[in-house]
Structures are given as C-alpha cells and as structure tokens.
Chain A
Amino acid sequence: MKNDTSRRDWLRYAGAGILGAAIGASATYGTSPERYAERPTGPRTKGVVPTAPIKLGIVSWFSGPSAMVGEACYNSAIMAADAINAGGGILGRRLEVIKRDAGAPDVTVEAVRRFVLEDKVDLMAGDIGGSNANAITPNVEQLKVPFFLQCSTTVKMVEELDPNPLYLFRSGEQNLAEPIVAAQIISTKYPDAKRIAGINPDYVYGREAMGYTMMALGKLAPHMESVLETWPPLFATDYTTHITSVLNSKPDIVLTACWGGDFVTLCKQGTAYGLFEKTHLVSIIGAMALNSLTKDILPEGVDMLQRDYYFLQPPHNLFPLNKWFVEEYHKRFNKYPEFDCHQMFSAIMAYKQGVERAYDYVGGWPENEDVCKAIQGTSVVGPGGYRAITNDGQFLNPLPYGTTKHDPNYPIVTLDPATVGFVPVEAVYNPKPVPPILKYKLGTGMTYSDWMDSW
C-alpha cells in the first residue's frame, strides 16, 4: 500500500536523523566557550595594539520620512572619525564607520546583531527611536559591545529594562527631562493658560512625552488640563485632520513631540490651517529637523526645546570647539548640526578617551568591558560643552530652549538669542525649589548687576 511505503521511508529518514544527532551530540563543541569568544583569547602582551581599523557601526533611520536623522548621525560620525584619524587614530588604529538601516524593532535588533556577529564592530552608535531602543537594550548587554544610544532614552529603559547597564551608554537626555522642562516653560511663560492639547506620535516616546508633561503640569500648574490628545501614528503624512480637531477644542497651548519629517509635515500643514495663529505651539523635539525648518513653514514665537544642543550655544566666540564643529559641518555637508550630531561626536570622543584610559590601566588593547568601565563616571567635552557621564552610562546634559526667530543670516529658523536659556541638569530633576528660569546672556556684555536687577 502506498501509505505503508511512505511510513517505512519516514522511519528510515528518522533513523538517519537520530544517527546524525548522535554524532552531533557527541561533539560538545557547540556549547564550549571558545565558540563564543569574540576575539581569540590568547595571552595579552603588554603594549601590543592590533593594527586593524576600529569599526564603528551606525544604526539609524536612513530611509523614509526621518532619513534626516540617519544622515545627521552618519555625517557627524565620519567628521569625528576623520578628526581622530588625522590625529593618529585611537592608539594608532584608524576609525572606520559603517552604517545599517533601522526599521521596525525586529529589523533593528537584527541589524545590531549583524553588526556584532558579521561585521564584528568594536562599537555602535545611533539614534533609533524609543521603540527600537527598548528592543535592543537587552541585546546590547548580551552582545557585549558598547552601544552609544543617541537621543532615544526612554523612561522604561532606565527604570525597567536595563537599570544597571554596562555596555549601553545613553548620550541623550532621558525622555523624562524634556517633559519636565516643557512643564516649567509652560507654567512660567503662560501662567494663565488653561487648556492644553497634544498632537503626539503614537509610540513610547510620544506617550511618555505627553504623559509626563501633564503629570509635571499637574504639580506646577494644577489649573491646566488636557482637553484633547490626538495620536497620529509615527511617520504619518496627513496631520490636517488632527490639526483641525485640536483647533476645534480651542486650546491655549498645543504640545507636540513630533520629530524629524513628522514635525516638518506638521508645521507645513499647520501653517496652512492656522495652527500657529490660533494657539501657542510648544515643540519638545522638533529641533531635530533643524535643517528642514524653513521660514515659510515655521513662524516666529514658537517655543522649542533643543534636547541637549543648540548649534549657536555655547557662543562661537567663547567656545572654539563649537565654532569649529558648526563651521566644519556646514562646510562639508551644507547643513547645520543638530543635537544628534553633538551627541554622536561626544560619544565617539568618550569612546576614544575610554580606550586610552583603559589601555594605560590594562597595559594592552583593552576588552570592551574595560573600555566601558573606563567611560563610566568620567566626563567628555563636545561641541555643546562638557558632559559628565554617570556610573550608569548616562551623559548629563543641560537642556537648551528658546523661541523661534527669523534671522536673515540663516536660511533656516533659529532661536531668538534673547530667549535662549539652559536648564541645568540639577534643575531638570528637581524643578520645584528652583526659582523662575534665569537666563544670563553670555558674551553680550551685560553686567552681573544688571542681570540680577532684571530678576
């Protein structure tokens, strides 16, 4: 019978399979530690440094509406690499930069794994967004390669997913920081406002931004309440309906955590539908789209938080590194650096510092673990200034903010220097005792006494 024959065949196959499995099982090679060593574990000779280049893997958005983010990350990475290589590299080794595209969380996780397992990178960096960041966090610790996360530091990651990281460095401020600052700005600048609305992308970052801002406002200005929150999906292209329904609810202030291409579209459509005329817009992270924010789509008077770097601060006449950085970036790429660029640059510099420190300590080329330990608890200087790095790998950044202005010297929308302020890190995490936001106008010649008079 036909059925019997196939069953016999299958039994034969199964038998062969079991035999094969026995062969396989006898080779315990699969679980031996040598198989999982990242590098050949031989004796470490003092003073021996490999000559092969150091590979830096950049994972970020290189396609789609927020391709500008990947571009910024990659450009600043190669700028940093060129500067380092011109100075002799890291302990004589060149720094090479390769890139991969992020996408949905499972795609990004795979990209990170491929970087480590196939491309054998020494470190990784990039702005990948909160969803992806949450996804890769446990993998980073398992893969044992330092990852400098730009910008996408979610509260969930800090509190739940990886509270004691070794390999993960967060060069951007935590998602908690901006909502608190936004709440401070709203409560001090618009004390009479009552109705708050929100247009935020529907994913972890948008939810955290809006949620924590309202929570902070609940303490700082309890008379304000949220009248309408709309949640367009991330990378939506049509905000007109959202804008209309938000305006229908007649808010005093509209809070938005849209970033990248989303913010550009929101501004474009908002201009046409009167979003800026009818209400005050507070943008938490629109500054990421710096180079696309032209004067026809973003009017003056909009409050924008700058995450942790605004390219005109520290003032170029006072801080040569920033002057060099902005001019060099503009010369090479015909764009102005946004905060991802500063974060990337500082991260790479921190890595270089960490390697050099660890080398001094260890006496040979350090393992990733040593490098990470040598970075934690130190500080690094970037175009935006000095940044302390905590023992859990968090870069501490003050938060610049300001109101938009159309300056004829720049093709893009910049901030009105009179409104630019910094919220120091301590005040971010401790808002109540701090008096109303004080802004000393650096480099403008104002005297201390005049400034104090102005409080």
Chain B
Amino acid sequence: MSLRSEYEFGIMALLSLMLIIPMYFPRYYVYIIAVTLCYAIYALGYNLIFGYTGLLSFGHALYWGVGAYTVAAFMRPELGPFRIFSMEALLVLSVVTSALVALAVGSICVRYTRIFFGLLNLGFVMLWYSLLLKLYYITGGTDGLPVYTPTLLGQSFTAEVFRTYTYYYYVLAIFLATSLMMWRVVNSHFGLTLKALRENSLRAGFVGLDISRYRLASYVLSGIWGGIGGALWAPLSGQVSPEISTWLTSGDIVLMTILGGMGSFIGPVIGAFVFLNLKVQIMHYTTFWQLFLGSAVILMVLVLPGGICGAASSLRLRRTKTAS
C-alpha cells in the first residue's frame, strides 16, 4: 500500500471509531473524549503560532478563558430575556470576543519575539486571571460562573443526554470543520510565509514581507481557535472558574504541542489526546501526575524534540530507507 492510501485508511478508520464511541464506551469516557476534542481544537490553534510561526506563548489559556467565560456570561440569569442559549450564537460571540482580545493583545505582543513574547503573553493571561478573581460581581470571582445546557441547532436536550451523547457529535463536527479550515490555512500561501518567518525572520524582512502583520494574523487566528475550544468546553464542564486561564494551564497546552510534535499538523491533536488521557489514567492510580508528565517533557526536549509525530516520521523514514 502506498503512503497516501495508508494515511487515508487510517483516517477513515479513526473517524468511524469516533462516530460509534458514544454507543459502546462508558458515559464517562465519552465525556472525556469530548473534552479532548475541545483541547484538540485549542491545540491546533496554538500550533499555528508556536509550531508554524515559531513564537512561544506562555499565555494562550487567555483565549480558552475568554471563550469559556463568553459562553457563561451570555447565559447568566441576570440577563433575563437577553439570555442566549443557542450554541451557534454563543460560538459566534466567542469567536468575536477572542478575536478582539487577540487583536488587542497581539498587536502589542508581536513586536517582540522569543522570551519577551512568551513573558508578555504570560503577563496578559495573569492580568486576565487576577481581574477574573477580583471583579467578583461581574465574573463571580473564585466561584466562577455556572454554564447551563445550551440548545444545539435549536434542539434542547436533558443535561445527561446532552453531555454524554448529542454534544459529543456536535463537538466532533466542529472539530472536523475547524481542522479542515486550519489545514487550508497552513497549506496556503499564508502558511508557507509563516514557516519562512519562523526559519529566518531577518531574511524574510529583506525579501519585503511585513513580519508584524503576518505574525499578528497568525496570532489572531490561533486566539480564535483557542476561544472556540474554550467555548465548546464550557457547557461540558458546567462551570467556569478563573483557574482555567493561568500561566500554568497555558503551560499544559505547550506540553501537549511538544508531546505530539510541533511543526506537524496532526501532532498537537495527538498530543492533546495523549496528554489528557494519560492524565486521567495516571490519576486513577496516583495524584502525582505532574511528576510523570514533567519528566516526559524533559525527556522530550532532550531526546525527542519532534514529539510523538517526529518520532513516528523518523521511524517511517528509517523503514522506507531500509525498504529501498
């Protein structure tokens, strides 16, 4: 079998598996996989700014938080008749808010690179976090805000059915749609330019590219994806609290991307699946998940900088070499 059809077959098998999961897997695992899909969208967005543009941000959880809090905020009972329950409307609103925040924050951040870029994003996410904590009457402070069950395409479901069945398909559909969009983005002229910027920004500048504009565009897109992920996650969790957007949770997404392999398209998605499911499994046996995942990261950086995907592709390279 050729490389291409192997790949196709694998993807189709995976897709069919994803579709029948809610029927045969225990309810709790359906919920976990739905959560993972949200993180996968978030990771895809992060990979754009980290893997493809080469900028390490330690504050990406800001957008996850913005998306999640947008959903929660528009469902607040205080809004009375202006409450929005339609998930489609809430998603659009989240895209708008995260785009606006990303535009504002990004226009400041993309002037710099490397460590400063990372620290500046860290500053913004922690500023957001401390505002969430302090503005108790707006954001609920430490308590956070509850998230009620939204309607999907106008249909409402009971909470149990929603969370463990119907919403899973909805999230899967949005995941596929956003992955397709991201695929188009990175394989377009725009994506190639980003890679050029990552490799050698000096030369790119000489060639005449407006570095800041490209970086800003990449940043805003990654922020939007993060917002979508957070918005989708909010009804699953039922509660948003300030802890979801700190520099530490931003670190989680960095770990996921590294684990899966930055620079490859599917890498972060795999990283998200591995990280989250590993965490759930480790937590079955011990609460010391940080120990394992931290060690994994150290190993990754020292030994396997390409992550899982990097290792897989070098294995395949070796196989094809020996085959020919």
Q: CA of A90 to CA of B143 in the docked complex: distance in angstroms?
A: 36
Nearest-neighbour CB distance to chain B for A245, whole angstroms, equals 16
Residues in A with CB closer than 8 Å to B144 are: 104-106, 131, 135
Q: CA of A13 to CA of B133 in the docked complex: distance in angstroms?
A: 44
Q: CA of A103 to CA of B28 in the docked complex: distance in angstroms?
A: 20
Q: CA of A114 to CA of B15 in the docked complex: distance in angstroms?
A: 27
Which parts of A83-134 form the interface with B (CB within 8 Å)? 101, 103-107, 109-110, 113-114, 117-118, 130-131, 134
Complex interface bits, B147-185 against A, C-beta within 8 A gives 1, otherwise 0 = 000000000000111000110010000001000100100
Does A21 make an interface contact (CB < 8 A)?
yes
Does B1 make an interface contact (CB < 8 A)?
no
Does B302 make an interface contact (CB < 8 A)?
no
Q: CA of A35 to CA of B166 in the docked complex: distance in angstroms?
A: 14
Does A424 make an interface contact (CB < 8 A)?
no
Residues in B with CB closer than 8 Å to A134 are: 143, 146
Does A218 make an interface contact (CB < 8 A)?
no
Residues in B with CB closer than 8 Å to A160 are: 77
Does B320 make an interface contact (CB < 8 A)?
no
Which segment, of B19-27, B47-55, B221-229, B311-319, faces chain A? B19-27
Nearest-neighbour CB distance to chain A for B74, whole angstroms, equals 18
Does A234 make an interface contact (CB < 8 A)?
yes
Residues in B with CB closer than 8 Å to A448 are: none
* Cβ A135 vs Cβ B142 within 8 A: no
Does B237 make an interface contact (CB < 8 A)?
yes
* Cβ B133 vs Cβ A233 within 8 A: yes
Q: CA of A28 to CA of B241 in the docked complex: distance in angstroms?
A: 35
* Cβ B241 vs Cβ A106 within 8 A: yes
* Cβ A104 vs Cβ B241 within 8 A: yes
Minimal Cβ-Cβ distance residue in A for B240: A106
Complex interface bits, B93-130 against A, C-beta within 8 A gives 1, otherwise 0 = 00000000000000000000000000000000000000
Minimal Cβ-Cβ distance residue in A for B7: A9
Q: CA of A6 to CA of B243 in the docked complex: distance in angstroms?
A: 40
* Cβ B183 vs Cβ A6 within 8 A: yes
Q: CA of A118 to CA of B281 in the docked complex: distance in angstroms?
A: 12
Which parts of A281-296 form the interface with B (CB within 8 Å)? none
Interface size on B, residues (CB 8 A): 41
* Cβ A233 vs Cβ B142 within 8 A: yes
The contact of A6 among B27, B31, B165, B187, by CB within 8 Å, is: B187
The answer to whether residues A139 and B238 also contact, given A13-B12, A131-B142, A234-B142 and a CB cut-off of 8 A, is: yes
Q: CA of A31 to CA of B166 in the docked complex: distance in angstroms?
A: 9
Complex interface bits, B202-235 against A, C-beta within 8 A gives 1, otherwise 0 = 0000000000000000000000000000000000
* Cβ B133 vs Cβ A202 within 8 A: yes
Minimal Cβ-Cβ distance residue in A for B19: A20
Nearest-neighbour CB distance to chain A for B204, whole angstroms, equals 23
Residues in A with CB closer than 8 Å to B8 are: 9, 12-13
Residues in B with CB closer than 8 Å to A13 are: 8, 11-12, 15
* Cβ B161 vs Cβ A138 within 8 A: no
* Cβ A20 vs Cβ B20 within 8 A: yes
The answer to whether residues A36 and B160 also contact, given A16-B12, A134-B143 and a CB cut-off of 8 A, is: yes
* Cβ B146 vs Cβ A138 within 8 A: yes
The answer to whether residues A20 and B16 also contact, given A117-B28, A142-B160 and a CB cut-off of 8 A, is: yes
Does B84 make an interface contact (CB < 8 A)?
no
Nearest-neighbour CB distance to chain B for A37, whole angstroms, equals 11
Nearest-neighbour CB distance to chain A for B79, whole angstroms, equals 14
Residues in A with CB closer than 8 Å to B22 are: 24, 30
The contact of B19 among A21, A31, A202, by CB within 8 Å, is: A21
Q: CA of A110 to CA of B35 in the docked complex: distance in angstroms?
A: 12
6 smallest CB-CB distances across A and B, nearest first, come from: A104-B243, A203-B142, A131-B143, A20-B19, A117-B28, A135-B239
Enumerate 15 A-B pairs (CB-CB under 8 Å) in ascending A order.
A6-B187, A9-B8, A16-B16, A30-B22, A30-B165, A31-B161, A31-B165, A104-B142, A109-B239, A117-B27, A130-B143, A135-B241, A138-B146, A160-B77, A233-B142
Beyond A20-B19, A21-B19, A27-B23, 10 extra complex contacts between A and B, CB < 8 Å? A6-B187, A10-B180, A10-B183, A13-B12, A17-B19, A20-B15, A24-B20, A63-B287, A105-B142, A131-B142
List residues of B whose CB falls within 8 A of some A CB.
8, 11-12, 15-16, 19-20, 22-23, 26-28, 31, 77, 133-134, 136, 141-144, 146, 159-161, 165-166, 169, 176, 180, 183, 187, 237-244, 287
